[in-house]
Amino acid sequence: MDYLKSRLNPDISYTALGKSTGLAQYVDVQSPWLWVCLGSVVFNPVFWNTVARNEYRNKSMTKIFGGPYNGTYVLAVIIFSLGIIRDLIYERTLLAQPVSPILATPLVRYTGAALFVVGQVLVVTSIYALGITGTYLGDYFGILMSHRVTSFPFNVLENPMYNGSTLCFLGTALWYARPAGVVITAVVFVVYEIALMYEGPFTSKIYSSAAAKKRSQEIKSTSTETAKTLETKANAAISSATPSGTSGTSSGTTTARQPLTSSTSYARAAAQPASSSGSGSTNPKPVPGLQELGLGAPVASPQPRVTRTRSRAGRVVDDD
C-alpha cells in the first residue's frame, strides 16, 4: 500500500534524464540498478524451484521446521519477502531510468494503472483460490490438493499468478513512463515462461505418482469386491424375504427393510466419519497434526475403508 501511496504521482518529467541519444535515450544500461533488478527477476523463480525440488527429494525444510506445513509456511514467507524486495528494486530501478516522451501521456499512464490493477486482482484471487500451501509449493512438501482448482481466475487462465505478476510489471513500467520497465517486463515474461516449462511437468509428476500409488493400494485391497458380493447377496435375501408388495405394502413397509443398493451403502460408508470405523485414521485429506508428526500420508491407505465396508456388509447379514 505504501508502494502505491508514495508513487501515485511519479516524476515523469523526461527533461532531466532524456538528454542522451541513441539507445541510452530509452534504456540506461549503465545504471547498476538495472542489473540488480534483472538479477533479482531471474533469481526468484530459480530460488523457489531449487528449494522446492530439494524439498521434494530430501524433505530438508520439513525436517528443519518440524513438518510439511511449517516448512511450506516458512518458504511462503521467504518467497513473499523476495517478491517484495524484487518489486522495491524494480521501482528503484525505474526511477533511475530515462522517461520516454512517447510513454509520458495520460492514456499510457492510466492504461498502466489498469494493467496493474488487473494483475493484482489475478495474483490475489489466485492466492485466495489456491490457499497458502497451494500457492507456495506445498505439493513439493507432500501437501497435495484434493482436486484441481477450477474457480476464478483458473477458469480463464492457466497460470494466472504468472500472468498477473507480468501485468503488474508492465503496468508499473507504463505508469512511470520508463521504456526500461517494458524491457524488464519482457525479461520477466521469458523467465516465467521458462519457469513454467520447468515447473509444470514436475508438478504433474508429483500428482500422477501420488495417484498411481493410491491406485496400486486400491488394487491390493481386492477384498472390497468380496464385501460387495456379500452385500448384494444379503440384499437379495432381504428382498426375497419381504413380500414384494402389491396390496399388503402398508403393513409390510413399516417392518420390512428396504434393500440397500450397493451404491447407496457405499455412499453412506463414504459419508461416515473416519472415527466410526474405530480403526484409526481413514481421512483421505491430509491431517495437519499427523503430517507434522510424519505419520499422516497425503494419500490415505484404503485399508481401513475396506474394513468398514466389510463390517457394514456383515451387519446387514447379521441383522437378518
Ligand X SMILES: *[C@@H]1O[C@H](CO)[C@@H](O)[C@H](O)[C@H]1NC(C)=O
Task: Please give the residue ranges that form the binding site for ligand X (CB under 6 A).
Answer: 157, 159, 162-163, 166, 189, 192-193
User: Which lies closer to ligand X via its Cβ, residue 159 or residue 265?
Assistant: 159
Beta carbon of residue 34, minimum distance to ligand X (angstroms, whole number): 21
DSSP alpha helix (H) spans, the chain: 2-5, 32-58, 60-65, 68-95, 106-135, 160-175, 179-220, 223-241, 249-255, 262-271, 288-293, 303-319
CB of 143 or CB of 167, closer to ligand X: 167
- Residue 27: name the closest of 113, 90, 94 by CA: 94
Question: Which residue's CB is nearer to ligand X, number 62 or number 166?
Answer: 166
In the complex, the smallest distance separating the C-beta of residue 49 from ligand X, rounded to whole angstroms, is 15
| Segments of 165-315 assigned E as strands | none
Give the H/E segment covering residue 56. helix 32-58
Q: Are 9 and 175 in contact (CB under 8 A)?
A: no
Which whole-number Å values give the CA distances from 72 to 160, 214, 245, in the listed order? 21, 23, 60
* Shortest separation between residue 129's beta carbon and ligand X, angstroms: 16
CB of 302 to ligand X, least distance (A): 38
C-alpha cell at 309: 465396508
Residue 26 or 162 having the CB closest to ligand X = 162
CB of residue 160 to ligand X, shortest distance in Å:
8
Cα separation, 168 vs 105, in Å, equals 19
What minimum distance in Å lies between the beta carbon of 196 and ligand X?
A: 7
Q: How many angstroms separate the Cα of 18 from the Cα of each of 29, 101, 244, 273?
A: 14, 9, 93, 70
* Cβ nearer to ligand X, comparing 28 with 199: 199
Nearer to ligand X (CB atom), residue 154 or residue 266: 154
